Amino acid sequence: MKAEVIAEFLGTALLLAVVVGSGIMGEQLAGGNDAIALLANSLATGAGLYVLIVTLGPVSGAQFNPAVSVLLALQGRQAWGVTGRYVVAQLCGAVSGVLAAHAMFAEHLLQVSTHVRAGPAQWLSEFVATAGLLGTILLCLRHGPEKLPQSVGLYIMAAYWFTASTSFANPAVTLARMLTDTFAGIAPAGVPGFVGAQFAAVAVICLAIRYGPSRPRAG
């Protein structure tokens, strides 16, 4: 279990370092063009997720996301004790990743974001982004586990662009991005709405699985 928890900490930390670091680099090089900065941010995040899932998936399942961990526990795929340890590791890793990104770009280590992301459109975007991510994961686990790394990476890359929120889809990521006043940040006032929407997506996916149409039986 120690190796699994370390993998969740390390994977989430590296994920946040990629998200925040590529946002800083993209903004620095884009010359004020937010589209170019977002393109750099989304490409780096999708590629980083693919690598992290491939390398750490065999150790811990590469969840890196409390919404994923809680969903698996609610489905009985994972013990709640394991889920609790994973969530703590993910939260600690996420904050560590933000600090690492700040250090790499000579930013102030301790920051609080002023980037306002709030309102019904943003919350709906987070609900859709999270539900889509969870659906992608569950369908890959059922029909093609070997396709999970590229599917998740490509989905997140796309969701940066088709959601108004740029697809946080992860409570640990959301809380940690509150601590960076850079391109990827979110002001503290916006965090409860984002996290609430993300866990609402968990609840809806669980209900859909429980009460939705069952698979037809052979014969």
Is 46 a domain residue? Answer: yes
Is 218 a domain residue? Answer: no
Is 38 a domain residue? Answer: yes
pLDDT in tens, 32-53: 999 999 999 999 999 999 999 9
Please name which of 203, 34, 192, 189 lies closest in space to residue 134, comparing C-alpha atoms: 203
Residue type, 32: G
CATH number for 70: 1.20.1080.10
Q: CA 51, CA 26: separation in Å to the nearest integer?
A: 20
pLDDT in tens, 88-142: 999 999 999 999 999 999 999 999 999 999 999 999 999 999 999 999 999 999 9
Is 117 a domain residue? Answer: yes
Please, what is the average pLDDT of the chain? Answer: 96
Q: How far from the centroid of its chain's Cα atoms is residue 120's Cα?
A: 20
Is 39 a domain residue? Answer: yes
Q: Mapping DSSP to helix (H, G, I), strand (E, B) and coil, where does residue 187 land? A: coil
Q: Range of 144's domain?
A: 2-211
Token pair listed for 81:
């004790």
Contact 129, 165 (CB under 8 A): yes
Decide which of 218 and 183 is more confident.
183
Is 219 a domain residue? Answer: no
Contact 11, 94 (CB under 8 A): no
Token pair listed for 132:
């889509």
Decide which of 218 and 50 is more confident.
50
Is 200 a domain residue? Answer: yes
Percentage of residues in the chain with pLDDT exceeding 90?
Answer: 95
Q: How confident is the model at residue 215 (pLDDT cuts 50, 70, 90)?
A: low
Q: How many domains does the chain have?
A: 1
According to the model, what pLDDT value does residue 211 have?
87
Q: How confident is the model at residue 219 (pLDDT cuts 50, 70, 90)?
A: very low
Is 149 a domain residue? Answer: yes
User: What is this structure's pTM?
Assistant: 0.94
DSSP character at residue 110:
S
